Amino acid sequence: MNPLKEPQRGMTVIVKTIAKFVVPPIILFGIYIVLHGHLTPGGGFAGGVIVGSAFILLTLAFGKEVAFQKLKRSTASVLESVGALIFLSLALLGIAAGGWFFLNFLPKGHPLRILSAGFIPLANIGIGIKVGAGIFAVFLTLIVFRVSAKK
Amino acid sequence: MWQVYALAILMIVGSLVAVHTRYLLSAVISLAVVGLALCVAFLYLQAPDCAITQIVVEVLALIILIRATGVERDMSEIKNRKEIFAYEAIGIFIIAFAFFAFRALSYLPEFGHPVMKVSQEYIRKGLEQTGAANLVTSVLLDFRAYDTLGEATVLFTAILGAIVVLREVGRKKK
């Protein structure tokens, strides 16, 4: 069923139409901020929150059923843990490579290229997944709690 | 420099309004004024990393506070009874705080001109040691990665606590 044709869920048709056009660029911008974290201002935290806020916009505009179809709350919780484990395992891989905790064991590359700075882009990706999924999961938890508290 | 001081005064006024207003929604929006003024202040102080994170988290916190906690119809209950010696305690605290703050401020270096040797080492050798063009990221994820790990752990624990407290399983039926 088309969520645009369902006036009783979510907000008005104006908000839904604008949200439909705006959500993909927001997610793309968040991914850009995460991937270019070692080159331009921003990084994993800011980019992750931007991606999470795109899903929150989806939830507010279309109601939580549509957002649950895109990303379930359990999936968000799992993604948060996966992001944290990526960051922690990168730190532990420094020991495995024969160095110390948080050793930047990958080659540095040329500055200002996207494949540079060793493991910093990977750590940014891990933090971005963790923060975005965590923010969305806690938002969904609060929404569900409020809806079930009203009943 | 005066713009930052004006923003600081705006932030103080916003937080005072947030404390003293009757409606919770007005309090939440006054808190948002504080956060957005802080974001503009970060831009004036040439810290775009902080500004991006600040505005994103501020907007998100505003949305969560307004939408997810059902603040729009609630009214805070403020009792009119004053505590004993409240004004005397406030006066004594302000005088003591101003005294020690003035003593401490006279030892600080001039604003925006750090003389710390550690940070200059980072600025000189950050690019060649980490390969990251963004110096803030190279500090966050390489030189000071332990701090980032701690911050990620704090966020993880906070979200875990919120999900555990608000979960459906085990909630009492009314």
Rounded to a whole number of angstroms, the distance from the CA of B12 to the nearest CA of chain A is 26
Interval B38-58: pLDDT, tens: 999 888 888 888 888 888 889
Residue span of the structural domain in which B141 resides: 108-174
In a domain? residue B56: yes
Of all residues in chain B, the percent with pLDDT exceeding 70 is 82
When mean pLDDT is compared across B14-18, B25-29, B35-39, B105-109, the lowest value belongs to B105-109
Last-in-domain residue among B54, B76, B98? B76
Q: Are A97 and A16 in contact (CB under 8 A)?
A: no
Per-residue pLDDT, averaged over A57-69, amounts to 79
Q: B23 and B72: one domain? A: yes
Interchain CB distance below 8 Å, A49 and B53? yes
B126 and B166 co-located in one domain: yes
Q: How confident is the model at residue A61 (pLDDT cuts 50, 70, 90)?
A: confident
- Beta-carbon separation of A137 and B70 below 8 A: no
Reference A41, options B152, B46, B40, B35; nearest CA is B46
CB B20 within 8 A of CB B76: no
Half-sphere exposure of A145 (CA within 13 A, CB side): 21
With left for phi above 0 and alpha for psi between -120 and 50, is residue A11 left, alpha or beta? beta
Same structural domain for residues B42 and B112? Answer: no
**B174 falls in which pLDDT band (50, 70, 90)?**
low
Of A41, A104, A148, the CB nearest to B142: A104
Contacts of A30 in chain B (CB under 8 A): none
Among the ranges given (A61-65, A85-89, B46-50, B107-111), the one the predictor scored with the smallest mean pLDDT: B107-111
Q: Could you tell me if residue B93 is inside a domain?
A: no
> What confidence score (pLDDT) does residue A1 get?
46
Does the structure show a pLDDT above 70 at A147? no
Write out pLDDT tens, residues B112-168: 666 667 777 777 877 777 777 777 877 777 777 788 888 888 888 888 888 888 777
Domain count, chain B: 2
Put simply, the chain A residues between 7 and 36 with a CB less than 8 A from any chain B CB are: 33
- Mean pLDDT over residues B9-25, rounded? 86
Q: What is the pLDDT of residue B98?
A: 93
In a domain, B153, yes or no: yes
From chain A, pick out residues whose CB is under 8 angstroms from the CB of B132. 38-39, 111, 116-117, 120
- Whether the pLDDT of residue A151 is over 70: the answer is no
Residue B43's SS3 state is helix
B97 found inside a domain: no
For A76-118, the pLDDT digits (tens) are 788 888 888 888 888 888 777 777 777 777 777 777 777 777 7
Is the pLDDT at B12 greater than 50? The verdict is yes
Question: Based on the domain organization, do B62 and B116 belong to the same domain?
Answer: no
**B119 and B159 housed in the same domain:** yes
Q: Per the domain annotation, does B4 fall within a domain?
A: yes
Boundary (domain end) residue, out of B76, B97, B131: B76
Cβ contact A39–B163 (<8 Å): no
Q: How many CB atoms lie within 10 A of CB B130?
A: 26
Q: Dihedral, CA atoms, B16, B22, B23, B26, nearest 10 degrees?
A: -30
- Indicate if B14 and B72 belong to the same structural domain: yes
Question: What are the distances in angstroms from CA B94 to CA A136, B3, B105, B142?
Answer: 41, 26, 16, 41
| A77–B166 CB contact, under 8 Å | no
